[in-house]
Every structure is written in C-alpha cells, then in structure tokens.
C-alpha cells in the first residue's frame, strides 16, 4: 500500500491530520527538531507535499510520521497537542523489544490489527482502527490503553493521543536502521470502542491501589519475571525526603499541556537534556523528583515507578 493510498484509507474526507517531519541531529551535541503540516485528504496539495517529504527523506536525515488521530482545524503555528485532538481513530501498540513474545500476546488478546506497520527489521507498530472514531472521555481511553501496555511489559509506554507513528513508504533514517523502508500490511479488521474497552478494562491501573493478581497475569518470560515490580520502589527511597520545589519551566510545561503531568514530565526531561545539557540520568531523575515531589510521583505511579522513570529517560533522548 502506497503512502497516499494508506492515508486515504485511514482518514475520511472531513478529518484533518498532521504529517511530522523530524530532522535528526547531525551531531550528539545538536538537537533534533520537528516541523508539522496539517492536511486533509481532499487537499489538492497533498500529493505535492508528500513528494516534498519524499525528497527530504531521501536526501537528508529526516524521518516522516503521521498522527494516529484527527485534529481540529488550525490556520497557523500548527500544534500537535492533545487538546486539539477531536477524535481517537484507533488503539495502537509499538513493539520494538521482545517482539517474538509480545506480538503473539497482543494478537491473542485483540486479534489481527487493521494495519501492521514494519518500522525496521522485526519491529512493528500495530493499529486497530475503530469503525467510528471515539469522541468520549479521552482520559478514560488513555487509562485503558495504559493498563494494557503496562500488562504487556516491555511495550512502548507512551499513551498520549497526540501520538505519531512512522508513515509507510519512507525510510527509517536512524543510523542503526540503515534506511529501512517502512511498509504497511492491511487486513479488513475493524473494531468498536466497546470491544476494546471490554478487553482492556480488567487491566486498568487504579491509582493508590495495587493491581489485583487476577488482573495482571505476568507473561511467561525471563524478562517479565525479572522486570521492575512493587519492590523496585525501594530503589527510589533515596528521593523520599524530596518535597516539590517551585520550578518555573516545569510549571510552564504543565500549563502548556493542560495539567497532563506525564507529557509535562517528558517535555521537562527533554528540556533538561537539550537546553541545560544534562546527560547524567541520575541527575535527570533527581530533577524530575524535585519538580514533582516524591509523594506526588509515588502516589501516581507507585509500583510502576521504575517503568515510568525508565520510559521517560528513554523517550527524552
């Protein structure tokens, strides 16, 4: 399935979506930057813009992504933020670790995806498209997805609905992937939000309460067996005396992301890495605890704190 054919298959004529062009840094001390273009499949310039993306991706270190969900119309200064999403079109998973274990487990739970995107050798992004976009409580949707992803450790642990996936037909420009050509396979499988909810709800994470054993059956794998669990919170005891310190930058990010602390946490650590040039992960972790306060972070993530911190550090690179 070619790029434009895929976009026309995935989005309807009345939906707007964003194509993101991420320019990779030329050196370790440089920062990657991303530009966004809001489009509609009826846009007469769609083919022309995709051609522009093709040449950028072919000749430069530029990766091409698309938003999984539809957006409100924007005239200038296009923003890819959750507050502008107007419909959740699918639920989705990103598998780049333990693929042989996780892929069949996801299929066992949910069936075959509508789209299987191969992003590099034996790494996949799976999209389960809803028959009709979900326009209900987006926070509830994220909680459902988060519970499933934590259950299926070590899946990618980002749950924001402003999420982007690699766009088929373009090369993966990360040096380690050697210009791997991203491709997509489609099956005529469509889902309702209620079907997703029925399967995902038993895995929902209830704040301030441990998950019942029956709700989180561990996968049979050495990785899962030795994965971080409630006991790993002890590794963070050294931060227990840290109370929240007023941090102007963190407060700005919290306001920007409508009090979504997970998104603000990631943005804050990215800012520390690239604006303050802090590379030491212990220092980054300390700064995050100072911005949030030990009690606040542990109350929110508790027995999953090791997962959470590791994911923030990985995704901020």
* Residue showing tokens 């399935």: 1
Distance CA 136, CA 86 (A): 10
**Among all chains, which residue has been given the structure tokens 């029925």?**
198
Q: Both 245 and 134 in a single domain?
A: no
Which of 203, 219, 254 finishes a domain?
Answer: 203
Residue 218: which H helix or E strand, with range? none
In a domain, 223, yes or no: no
Residue 81 pLDDT: 93
| Per-residue pLDDT, 300 | 77
Express each pLDDT in 6-27 by its tens digit: 999 999 999 999 999 999 887 7
The answer to the question of residue 149 being in a domain is: yes
Domain annotation covers residue 9: yes
Per-residue confidence of the chain (317 residues) as pLDDT tens digits? 999 999 999 999 999 999 999 998 877 767 888 999 999 999 999 999 999 999 999 999 999 999 999 999 998 889 999 999 999 999 999 998 889 999 999 999 999 999 999 999 999 999 999 999 999 999 999 999 988 988 887 787 778 899 999 999 999 999 888 999 999 999 999 999 999 999 999 988 754 333 343 344 433 333 323 333 333 445 788 888 898 888 999 998 888 888 888 888 988 998 898 888 888 888 999 999 999 999 888 887 776 788 788 878 877 87
Q: Which domain holds residue 75?
A: 3-203
Residues 164, 309 share a domain? no
165 and 309, same domain (yes or no): no
Residue 60 token pair? 């430069």
On whether both 157 and 277 belong to a single domain, the answer is no
Would 95 be classed as within a structural domain? yes
Do residues 144 and 264 both lie within one domain? no
> Does one domain contain both 192 and 309?
no
Assign residue 119 the CATH number of its domain: 3.30.70.1790
Structure token pair of residue 260? 């979504």
Model pLDDT, residue 240 = 85
Domain co-membership, 246 together with 154: no
Q: Are residues 156 and 18 in the same domain?
A: yes
The pLDDT of residue 114 is 98
Closest of 287, 298, 307, 297 to residue 227, by C-alpha: 307
Q: pLDDT for 252-292, tens place per residue?
A: 888 888 888 888 898 899 889 888 888 888 899 999 999 99
Given this model, what pLDDT does residue 218 score?
Answer: 39
State whether 186 and 236 are in the same domain. Answer: no
- The per-residue pLDDT for 303 is 65
Domain count, the chain: 2
Length of the chain: 317
Quick check: is 217 in a domain?
A: no
Looking at the structure, do residues 153 and 191 belong to the same domain, yes or no? yes
d(CA 195, CA 188): 16
220 lies in some domain: no
253 lies in a domain? yes
Which one-letter DSSP state was computed for residue 71? E
Residue 210 lies in a domain: no
**Is the pTM value of this prediction over 0.85?**
no
């Amino acid at each position: 399935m070619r790029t434009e054919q895929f976009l026309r298959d995935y989005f309807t004529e009345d939906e707007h979506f964003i194509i993101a062009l991420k320019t990779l840094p030329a050196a370790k001390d440089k920062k990657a930057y991303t530009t966004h273009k809001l489009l509609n499949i009826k846009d007469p310039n769609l083919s022309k813009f995709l051609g522009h993306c093709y040449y950028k991706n072919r000749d430069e270190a530029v990766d091409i992504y698309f938003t999984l969900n539809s957006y409100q119309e924007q005239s200038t200064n296009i923003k890819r933020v959750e507050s502008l999403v107007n419909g959740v079109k699918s639920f989705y998973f990103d598998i780049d670790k333990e693929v042989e274990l996780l892929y069949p487990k996801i299929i066992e739970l949910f069936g075959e995806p509508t789209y299987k995107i191969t992003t590099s050798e034996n790494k996949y992004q799976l999209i389960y498209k809803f028959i009709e976009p979900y326009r209900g409580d987006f926070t509830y949707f994220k909680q459902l997805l988060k519970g499933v992803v934590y259950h299926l450790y070590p899946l990618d642990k980002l749950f924001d609905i402003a999420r982007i996936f690699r766009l088929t037909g373009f090369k993966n420009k990360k040096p380690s992937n050697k210009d791997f050509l991203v491709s997509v396979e489609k099956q005529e499988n469509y889902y309702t939000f209620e079907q997703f909810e029925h399967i995902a709800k038993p895995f929902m994470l209830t704040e301030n309460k441990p998950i019942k054993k029956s709700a989180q059956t561990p996968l049979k794998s050495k990785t899962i067996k030795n994965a971080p669990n409630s006991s790993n919170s002890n590794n963070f005891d050294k931060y227990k005396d840290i109370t929240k310190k007023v941090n102007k930058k963190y407060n700005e990010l919290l306001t920007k992301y409508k009090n979504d602390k997970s998104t603000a946490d990631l943005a804050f650590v990215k800012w520390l890495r690239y604006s303050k040039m802090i590379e030491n992960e212990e220092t980054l972790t300390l700064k995050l605890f100072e911005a949030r306060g030990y009690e606040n972070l542990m109350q929110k993530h508790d027995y999953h704190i090791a997962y959470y911190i590791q994911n923030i550090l990985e995704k901020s690179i």
